[in-house]
């Protein structure tokens, strides 16, 4: 689904949904208490990278950077698995394309299997901060500086999975810089904060006209990072493109005398036979070097 329009600003719709958000949170707490009874402790250190903001913050590139640094395997649920992505999900394909060992499915089962191997490298867990069935050695929350806490409300009234004070329990926070910082985005004192930078690398020169499309949490971020965009089309997060969708996109590009471009996350969901005709803009994320010094000490 597309990100609800009220997630970034407090308005009457958001306020009306606040009671539902507390019911949602209460049910989640009961489930968490139950799962905690069956929690496992991994032999290998678990680095959990997640967010309290429901999608769109740029967590997957952070996971990729950390896993590549340690040469570590990644365990993840594999959201929106489909035949087009080999039944593993778009984010898993993104990570595997850089040579990482990605284990999709039940995180607990995969961690148990990885603990039976002789390797001692840490295991990077993509998401799962709110799931206590696996004990984490390091918990890292990722934020986008331009999104902050959104409207500050929990789902479905806002984008937060849990209250803002949950950040206090994190071992560290990584904030992805944005040239338009969110006002009133403040992090609790005492939690280490590290900064990261995103760079969107287009396969085209600046003079090439582009028709950009994306099915991600906040497609405006992607569109704003490109130059010479003459048309934009947004789709729901993790959207599965149909033949009709693609025909319409090609028609727009032809009319505008432009090239189609999308995100890597969208590109891996395209039919294989069409991928040569559509290029993606690569997203490079660089975390400040002091973060890795801190992390190595933390997992010792």
- What is the per-residue pLDDT across 67-85, written as a single tens digit (0 to 9) for each? 999 999 999 987 655 545 4
Residue 55's pLDDT is what?
82
Beta carbons of 86 and 117 less than 8 angstroms apart? no
Query: Dmax of the chain from CA atoms?
Result: 59
Residue 30: is the preceding peptide bond cis (ω within 30°)?
A: no
- For 153-157, what is the mean pLDDT? 97
Lowest average pLDDT, out of 83-97, 104-118, 225-239, 263-277, goes to 83-97
- Domain 5-198+286-299 class, CATH top level: alpha beta
Strand bridging mode 46-50 / 138-144: parallel
**Tens-digit pLDDT profile for residues 98-124:** 999 999 999 999 999 999 999 999 999
Phi and psi based region of residue 252 (left: phi greater than 0; alpha: psi -120 to 50; beta: remaining): alpha
Which pairs from 91-100 meet CB under 8 Å and 24+ separation? 91/60, 91/126, 91/265, 93/268, 94/60, 94/64, 94/264, 94/265, 94/268, 95/60, 95/63, 95/64, 95/67, 95/126, 97/264, 97/268, 98/64, 98/68, 100/64, 100/67, 100/68, 100/72, 100/73, 100/74
pLDDT above 60: residue 263: yes
- For 40-63, what is the mean pLDDT? 94
Q: Which residue has the higher pLDDT, 1 or 236?
A: 236
DSSP state of 134: B
Task: Please give the share of the chain, as a percent, with pLDDT higher than 90.
Answer: 88
Residue 85's pLDDT is what?
47
Beta carbons of 126 and 63 less than 8 angstroms apart? yes
Beta carbons of 103 and 93 less than 8 angstroms apart? no
Residue 80's pLDDT is what?
55
């Amino acid at each position: 689904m597309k990100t609800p329009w009220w997630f970034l600003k407090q308005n009457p719709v958001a306020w009306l949904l606040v009671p539902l958000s507390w019911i949602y949170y209460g049910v989640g707490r009961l489930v968490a208490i139950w799962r905690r009874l069956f929690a496992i402790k991994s032999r290998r250190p678990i680095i959990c990278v997640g967010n309290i903001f429901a999608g769109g913050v740029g967590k997957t590139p952070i996971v990729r950077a950390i896993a590549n640094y340690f040469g570590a395997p990644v365990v993840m649920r594999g959201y929106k698995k489909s035949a087009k992505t080999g039944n593993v999900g778009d984010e898993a394909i993104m990570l595997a394309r850089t040579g990482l060992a990605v284990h999709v499915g039940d995180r607990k089962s995969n961690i148990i299997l990885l603990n039976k191997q002789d390797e001692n490298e840490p295991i990077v867990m993509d998401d799962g901060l709110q799931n206590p069935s696996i004990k984490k050695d390091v918990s890292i929350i990722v934020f986008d500086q331009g999104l902050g806490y959104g409207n500050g409300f929990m789902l479905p009234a806002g984008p937060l999975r849990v209250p803002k004070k949950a950040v206090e329990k994190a071992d560290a926070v990584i904030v992805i810089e944005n040239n338009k910082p969110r006002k009133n985005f403040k992090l609790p004192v005492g939690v280490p904060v590290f900064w990261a930078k995103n760079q969107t690398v287009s396969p085209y020169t600046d003079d090439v006209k582009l028709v950009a499309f994306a099915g991600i949490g906040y497609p405006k971020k992607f569109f704003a990072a490109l130059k010479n965009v003459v048309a934009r089309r947004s789709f729901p997060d993790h959207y599965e493109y149909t033949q009709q969708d693609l025909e319409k996109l090609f028609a727009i590009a032809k009319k505008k005398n432009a090239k189609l471009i999308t995100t890597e996350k969208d590109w891996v969901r395209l039919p294989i036979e069409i991928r040569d005709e559509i290029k993606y803009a690569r997203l490079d994320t660089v975390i400040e070097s002091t973060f890795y010094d801190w992390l190595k000490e933390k997992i010792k």
